[in-house]
Amino acid sequence: METTIRGAKTFVDEVAAEPGGEKINECIQCGVCSGSCTTVEWWEHPPRKIIAMIRAGKREQVLSSTSAFNCVTCYLCTVRCPRGIKPAQLIHAVEAIAEREGYKPKTPTIKLFRSLRNAMRQGRVWELGMALRFYLTSNILYGLKDVPLALSLMRRGLMPIFPPKKVKGSREVAAIMDKVEAMQKAGGAQ
C-alpha cells in the first residue's frame, strides 16, 4: 500500500514537490535514460523503472533500493531525455528524500566513483587512473573483462595513459573532494 509524508497525497506528488522532481508526470517511459545511464549495471532499478515505481507508489522499495543513491551526475540521460525531464535531478530528488528518511547508500563502488579521488590531484578526471582505482578496490576480475575496451579507448586517444595536467584551481577541487569524503565518513559511508 502506498505511503506518504509531509501532507503529500501520493509518493509521486511528494517527488514532484521536491526540487528536481517537478516533471516526473511528463515522463513517457521511453527508456532513453536507462539506456544511456553510465552506471546502470549497479542500479537495482534503472532510472526509467524508478520513475515507474514512484508513480506506482512503491515508496519503500524506491527509497530503500541502491538506485536512490547511484546517480553519478554524468548528465548523459539529461541531454538525451526527449521530454526535458532531467532524470539526474529527479534521481537526486529521490536521493534527498531517502537521506531525510535515514536511508544510506549500499554500494561502496558507486561511492568510489563519486569521490573521484584522482580529481583531487589534477582537478579533472584521469579516466585510466579512476578505472584502475575503481577495479583494484572493488573487483579486479570484473575489471579484466574490460581490458579490451580500455585498450581500444587508448588506441583512439580517448583514455590517456598519463594523468592530465593540473587545471587552475585544482587545489580548490581537492579541498571540495576532501570535504565530501569527510562528510561521507562522518555519515558512516563505506
User: Where does this chain bind ligand SF4 (CB under 6 A)?
Assistant: 27-33, 36-39, 47-48, 51, 71-77, 81-83, 85, 87-88, 91
Residue 103 or 163 having the CB closest to ligand SF4 = 103
Q: Which is nearer to ligand SF4, 31 or 169 (CB)?
A: 31
Per-position b or e across 38-65, b if 16+ CB within 10 A of its CB: ebbebbbbbbbbbbebbbebbbeebbeb
Q: How far is the CB of 28 from ligand SF4 (least distance, A)?
A: 5
Enumerate residues 6+ apart whose C-beta is below 8 A from 60.
3
Residue 166 Cβ vs ligand SF4, minimum distance, rounded to whole Å: 26
- For residue 29 the three cell numbers come to 517511459
Pick between residue 78 and residue 170 the one whose CB is nearest to ligand SF4: 78
Shortest distance in whole angstroms from residue 50 CB to ligand SF4:
9
Q: Residue 38 CB, nearest distance to ligand SF4 (Å)?
A: 5
Backbone angles phi, psi at 2, to 5 degrees: -70, 140
Closer Cβ to ligand SF4, 146 or 172, answer by number: 146
Choose among 119, 99, 89: nearest CA to 181: 119
CA-to-CA dists, residue 109 to 7, 22, 36, 139, 182, angstroms: 35, 29, 19, 9, 17
Give the nearer residue to ligand SF4 in terms of CB position, either 36 or 65. 36
Least Å distance, CB 5 to ligand SF4, is 24
